[in-house]
Chain A
Amino acid sequence: MDKLIISKNDLPKLLDDLIKKYTVFAPTNNNDTVIFSQIKKANEANLNYLNSQYPPKALMLCQTETLFKFKPGPKGDIESVKLDEKKIIFGIRPCDAKSMAILDHAFSGDYKDPYFLTKRDNTLLIGLSCIKPGVNCFCTSFDDSPASSKYVDILLTEIGDKYYVEVMSDRGKQITKGASKFFKPAKESDAKSKKEAEKKAISAIKRTQKTDKIAEKLDKIFDNKFWKEVADRCVGCGTCTYLCPTCHCFDIQDESTLTKGARVRVWDTCMNPEYTLHASGYNPRPARANRVRNRVYHKYNYYPKNFNVIACVGCGRCIDLCPVNIDIIDVVTQAGEVKP
């Protein structure tokens, strides 16, 4: 596919151009943090960010989403909702883009999830390489790169006063074609500059999680006291799961007044005891150790067994924001060293 460049001066013009044609989401300042939200002008986007506070998966698996509307009660009726319009997520980090590919497994398969998959199909990802990774970034532990173009339609990498543009899909090509005045073909020296920027970024990642044969290793230590030790520190707040770009658990609730209602789904977390509580009062995961273990196993054992991929992208959010400093890099690395 095409390799292009765009100057830093032209990037806002491109963005404004896209905003005219599409619904564009980009990283924006939100108090002290950055979140993805819809922008109406290019200058609302903050492209010098490390990563968003919560992942842009929220644009695919919404924190709250109406599944359908209904007239409540025993004489009720239901009414479908219209599924999503086309949009662009501009400036998504390669790790978060990868998380969407990971989530595709969960939401496709035997039963297709129309809400997630429609949004996914209707959303174009324009990625932005990390050239200055954070202290808890570890995407390289999964053989990925902070400048990976694998999971986006277009990838931008900052090189000096311009961006190196890798067009990765036909949809991406339509975008660059439709705004061709902003792009120039890349020279060999530009490709080299990208490689250098990527190399520099990779070497700036200091932390490594040892994931070699981790699924097999976890198979042998399910009942180990190690999990109790890890969980002793956990306060069960669920931050790690809500902020995780690959967590996909949800709850379904009916919300209604006397005359109208909606069945909605909302993010849920396996850190809540209510999550698995039966109506009878029985709970298969009654202790925090059960729940902490479930989180780790879901990502490093169950997901690899079911879909052949570890459900972690190394974004580091759960490490940055855990109130008691539980560190998934250490937990998994140490779990791999536990004697069965």
Chain B
Amino acid sequence: MKENPYEPWLATVEEIRPEVGGQRPIKTFKLKFKDKKVQDNFTFVPGQCAMVSLLGQGECFFAISSSPTKKGFIEVSVMKLGKVTTALHELDPGDIVGVRGPYGNNFDVNGWKGKNLIFIGGGIGQAPLRSLIQYVVDKRKDYGKLDVIYGARTSKDISYKEEFAELDKRKDVNVHLSIDVKEDGWKKFVGFVPDNLLKVKPSPKNSIAITCGPPIMIKFVIQNLEKLGFTEDQIFTTLEMRMKCGIGKCGRCNIGNLYVCKDGPVFSYKQLKNIYGER
């Protein structure tokens, strides 16, 4: 991190990949710090976030969606929704953005070694999970069984399509995709993510479930995980809030006395049950 935590480093947009089109498009931006030293020293753990800005438009807090095992760049996946994200969507490769971070806590990649991992994502919520999935796949020997459950509204809304296909080819990763409504030619699950979870029926034994997606999805995923016998300290999620500083000063992202930017964004269900506050 820079000595002045508010000053971003400059990074070049190396590549822009459209993930999803339509009304709320998602693009993945591959960013490389202009200063090679900064790039080499920028270390993070899956789950951590970065503040990305377009000078003159403002900043937003994004989960880093690439894995630290992929060196030489970072990626963020951005849904076009507000002022800054709209401006980011208009960028071309070669353009400059500001990046500061990494911020927040992370998934316990060391503590989860040897465990079976179940990833349950929906929509853009897959971004932080993608970082973790890439990480554990790159260190495949360290982890047990891997189940990736992901759903989107329609087949067109599935982000990271090619990566899911690649994962699906591997014998040591199980991918379970779903769409909300029936479509011609769709042979996989039709229905909501929490229902797909019940169908996949992962065993809670020696397992950790990590979920991220729309709040309503997370709510029912957690309910169903508990039905399957998962305990509250086996369930993890990563949250988002409106943020400005990213370092626990500007005040707005608090849930109770915790700041999502600094004390989160990764929380166990056990933690979330024990803190009160608006979320």
Q: What is the interface of chain A, defined by CB distance below 8 A to chain B?
A: 67-68, 70-78, 80, 106-107, 109-115, 219, 222-223, 248-254, 256, 261, 263, 265, 268, 270, 275-280, 282, 284-285, 290, 294, 297-298, 301-303, 305-306
- Known contacts A249-B252, A284-B278: A74-B4 contact under CB 8 Å: no
Q: Which residues of A contact B277 (CB under 8 A)?
A: 222
Taking the closest CB of chain B, its distance from the CB of A192, in whole angstroms, is 44
Taking the closest CB of chain A, its distance from the CB of B89, in whole angstroms, is 12
Taking the closest CB of chain B, its distance from the CB of A187, in whole angstroms, is 46
In this complex, the member of A113, A252, A294 whose beta carbon has the largest number of chain B beta carbons within 10 angstroms is A252
- The answer to whether B96 touches A290, judged by C-beta atoms less than 8 angstroms apart, is no
Q: Which residues of B contact A67 (CB under 8 A)?
A: 6-7
- Known contacts A74-B95, A254-B58, A285-B278: A276-B4 contact under CB 8 Å: no
- The answer to whether B92 touches A74, judged by C-beta atoms less than 8 angstroms apart, is yes
Taking the closest CB of chain B, its distance from the CB of A42, in whole angstroms, is 36
Q: Is B111 located at the chain interface by the 8 A CB criterion? A: no
- The answer to whether B56 touches A72, judged by C-beta atoms less than 8 angstroms apart, is yes
Q: Which one of B5, B240, B255 lies within 8 Å of A112 (CB-CB)?
A: B5
Query: Could you list some 30 contacts between A and B, CB below 8 A?
Result: A72-B56, A73-B55, A74-B13, A74-B91, A74-B95, A74-B96, A74-B97, A77-B96, A78-B8, A113-B247, A114-B6, A249-B250, A249-B251, A249-B252, A251-B244, A252-B245, A252-B250, A254-B56, A256-B56, A261-B55, A268-B250, A279-B82, A282-B215, A284-B241, A284-B278, A297-B256, A301-B257, A302-B254, A302-B257, A303-B257
Q: Is B68 located at the chain interface by the 8 A CB criterion? A: no
- Which 6 residue pairs are nearest across A and B when measured between Cβ atoms? A72-B56, A279-B82, A74-B95, A249-B251, A76-B55, A302-B257
- The answer to whether A110 touches B242, judged by C-beta atoms less than 8 angstroms apart, is no
A-facing residues in B230-275 (Cβ within 8 Å): 240-242, 244-245, 247-257, 262
Taking the closest CB of chain B, its distance from the CB of A141, in whole angstroms, is 22
Nearest B residue to A223 by beta-carbon distance?
B276
- The answer to whether B4 touches A114, judged by C-beta atoms less than 8 angstroms apart, is yes
Q: Which one of A74, A111, A261, A265 lies within 8 Å of B248 (CB-CB)?
A: A111
Q: Is B147 located at the chain interface by the 8 A CB criterion? A: no
A-facing residues in B160-214 (Cβ within 8 Å): none
Taking the closest CB of chain A, its distance from the CB of B174, in whole angstroms, is 31
**Cα–Cα distance between A271 and B184 once the two chains are bound (Å):** 49
- Known contacts A109-B248, A302-B257: A252-B278 contact under CB 8 Å: no
**Cα–Cα distance between A297 and B258 once the two chains are bound (Å):** 12
**Cα–Cα distance between A112 and B6 once the two chains are bound (Å):** 10
Nearest B residue to A258 by beta-carbon distance?
B56
- The answer to whether A250 touches B249, judged by C-beta atoms less than 8 angstroms apart, is yes
- The answer to whether A276 touches B252, judged by C-beta atoms less than 8 angstroms apart, is yes
Nearest A residue to B13 by beta-carbon distance?
A74
- The answer to whether A294 touches B278, judged by C-beta atoms less than 8 angstroms apart, is yes
Q: Is B54 located at the chain interface by the 8 A CB criterion? A: yes
- The answer to whether A114 touches B3, judged by C-beta atoms less than 8 angstroms apart, is yes
Q: Is B70 located at the chain interface by the 8 A CB criterion? A: no
- The answer to whether A290 touches B278, judged by C-beta atoms less than 8 angstroms apart, is yes
Q: Which one of B95, B244, B249 lies within 8 Å of A106 (CB-CB)?
A: B249
**Cα–Cα distance between A115 and B57 once the two chains are bound (Å):** 22
- Known contacts A67-B6, A110-B262: A252-B244 contact under CB 8 Å: yes
Nearest B residue to A303 by beta-carbon distance?
B257
- The answer to whether B6 touches A68, judged by C-beta atoms less than 8 angstroms apart, is yes
Q: Is B146 located at the chain interface by the 8 A CB criterion? A: no
Q: Which residues of B contact A298 (CB under 8 A)?
A: 251, 254
**Cα–Cα distance between A198 and B56 once the two chains are bound (Å):** 52
**Cα–Cα distance between A223 and B251 once the two chains are bound (Å):** 21
Q: Which one of B97, B247, B251, B253 lies within 8 Å of A111 (CB-CB)?
A: B247
- Known contacts A78-B8, A278-B241: A256-B55 contact under CB 8 Å: yes
Q: Is B228 located at the chain interface by the 8 A CB criterion? A: no
Q: Which one of A68, A250, A278, A297 lies within 8 Å of B242 (CB-CB)?
A: A278
> B22-65 toward A: CB 8 Å interface, digit per residue (1/0)?
00000000000000000000000000000001111111000000
**Cα–Cα distance between A253 and B56 once the two chains are bound (Å):** 9
**Cα–Cα distance between A106 and B244 once the two chains are bound (Å):** 15
Nearest A residue to B58 by beta-carbon distance?
A254
- The answer to whether A113 touches B278, judged by C-beta atoms less than 8 angstroms apart, is no
**Cα–Cα distance between A268 and B249 once the two chains are bound (Å):** 12
**Cα–Cα distance between A276 and B240 once the two chains are bound (Å):** 11
Nearest B residue to A241 by beta-carbon distance?
B251
Q: Which residues of A contact B56 (CB under 8 A)?
A: 70, 72-73, 76, 254, 256, 261
**Cα–Cα distance between A73 and B73 once the two chains are bound (Å):** 21
In this complex, the member of B3, B58, B257 whose beta carbon has the largest number of chain A beta carbons within 10 angstroms is B257
- The answer to whether B251 touches A250, judged by C-beta atoms less than 8 angstroms apart, is yes
